[in-house]
Structure 1
Amino acid sequence: MNSSQKKTTMISFNCKSIKRSLQCVRDLCEKAEIIALQETWLLPHDLNIVQGIHSNFECAAISSVDLSAGVLRGRPYGGLALMWNKTLFNNVSVVNCSNDRIMAIRVDIDLRSFLVFNVYMPTDEIDNLPDFSNCLAKVSAIVEEYNVSSVYMLGDFNAHPSARFGIELRHFCDEQEWVWADITKLGNSTDTFTFISESHGSRRWLDHCLTTESAWKSVLSADVMYDVSWSDHFPLRIVCDIEVNESFTLDSNIATGRAFVGALGMQRK
């Protein structure tokens, strides 16, 4: 990365079909250096579509569609993509997350490294709580394995702050000593929303950014891009000065001590 490039913008966007939103995503590439997309709705053989969106961006994508059972009935579903400006970040490796709700990259710049996660959580229903907790536990385990202190987790968490999954997400931040970055920057206000229901018009704050304490030091601002109306979600934008990220990794004993209880399969009582 060019040393003169101090501000890095990260955008999280549930695009609700990347094929339909190609021009929107292309426009976002002019406004950000890292983009996390959810609900791309791509089949496994369509993943290369992401590669052609913008010439300055490298990307990785995964499909949630399982075609092993036969012909797909209905529209595709799920899917994630991470895009990064390769002219600024030329040392990026894709992290194997082994979960179609999670993907991540590791970015190395000089002596600094940071992880960027992209997540798409299940809807906030009691039956989905184990899946939600397991995804958070998986992220925690990967962070511990990679031993990197600066971590950003972006995505559609389906977690309104005052709802069930929002409360679980707050517990995760407390236990891990992470920061709920967008909530902290914008305030836990009912005026902020990232999603409007097409069926009944309700507004919810479902898209978020969590950071480790180390990465939090780099966060300059957070806002919702209400002028982007290609989906029922609005993009969440986080602006960082990644030069302040620490150049060392977490002490493994500290990381182990903070392991999320969900990784042990424990349920909150």
Structure 2
Amino acid sequence: MKRSHGEGSLQRRGEGSWRLRYYVGEVRHALTFRGTRKEAADKLRSLLTDAGKGMHVAPDKRTLAQWADEWIALKAAERQHKTVARYEDLLMKHVLPKLGERPIQQIKPIEIQKLYAEIDLAPRTRHHVATVLKACLQAAVDIGKLLQTNPAATIKKPTASESDVGQALEQEKIIALVEGFRGSTLFDFTFLMAFTGMRRGEALALRWRDFNPAAKTLRIERALEYTKKHGLLFKEPKSERSKRTIILDDTLVALLLKMREVFLRVVAGAPDGADVDLSLVRVPEDWLVFPAPMAR
């Protein structure tokens, strides 16, 4: 005989603790609930109502940390390497230490609100943490079928305040910054980034074919990114707008020409200071401008 969704029972297990037993079709479920008898009865009634509407979510003991691992694995399958690594880093550092051991089905909105309030981070980073946590919990609703509703959905996320936006340095400060690297293997790298506004990953992904000394231009086509699981990866920018051509002044052109001469000598096997005609030597176009720090 097929059981009705209306069948259920309450059993007291201790002070403020109740065992809820009920059927969804032929499947028997049990759930421990903490609260008053009335609250337990209301919870049982809600479960049975959801079952009758086909909206029942089976009890599950998985913690937020366990679900986060599953979610990250699902996202990794989409091959969004850097994005997934960032999600994992934000959850591991700022969410899981506080809520990771909590069963995901027991997490309440007030706990998430408290988490946001206690995160001591820059506004933009706090906003990113909230965005990732909300997405993780929404996936538990849509994919994992662990939750009926997202406990973070009604919580107002921390805003990405303007105070977290980077500030442009004045010319004197830029010069002072660059001069601080003079004599270092990072001088050329720092100089180029400081006076072009390139991101670090874009500078590291530059190839010699991107440099046109006659036109005095440098083309940005890709970026080098590090991911925890997949190491270093070259990837195109997320939007076509990020692909751009930078106009260089004479100082930057001279810097790059000097750097390229060093590479030409490496290709030709000519030591520094040797009088060698480098006009016939060619640097392979796919060579990186900054393959590794070079000794002076």
Short-chain TM bin: under 0.3
TM-score where L is the length of structure 1: 0.21
**Bigger helix share:** 2
Higher relative CO (Cα under 8 Å, sequence separation at least 6) belongs to 1
